[in-house]
Amino acid sequence: MIIATFDKSIQYAACHPGIKRGFDFLESVNLEALADGKHEIDGQRLIAICAREQGRGRESSFLEFHRKYIDIQYVVSGNEVMGWRPLSDCRDIRLPYDIENDIGFFNDRPLNWFEVPAKSFTIFFPEDAHSPLAATGPIHKIVIKVAVV
């Protein structure tokens, strides 16, 4: 798991070629004007999902995990709160992994909570269970889905 401000994104671009391409996308579009929903950048290899949502609070934000994709979660506006726990420490399955939608959920609670202010991002790898939308206010963010292989 990585958390940083966008001006530091170049330091993490070498982690995976798709991460750099995701950052390039975030720099190349007007994020404020981007329509909500899914935007294919490179077929199913690189996808942007724009969402303007109300935070659910910590108690209603459950740990999720992915196997096929790395998540770059960039906060355009608002103050996001996210939780994290190593996937290897999660035991209590809430919803089993759905291969088609690349998502599963746990009832386990995060070990760490952290704020992600506007113009900041997180990167979650398949070994990271994470609880997004744990803030209580409005959040506008872009999730870049980077295919692992």
Phi, psi of 127 (to 5 degrees): -85, 0
- Please give the pLDDT value at position 147: 98
Q: Which domains does the chain have, with CATH numbers?
A: 2-147 (2.60.120.370)
Q: Coil, strand, or helix at residue 135?
A: coil
Using one digit for the tens of pLDDT, what is the confidence trace for 70-117? 999 999 999 999 999 999 999 999 999 999 999 999 999 999 999 999
Using one digit for the tens of pLDDT, what is the confidence trace for 20-62? 999 999 999 999 999 999 999 999 999 999 999 999 999 999 9
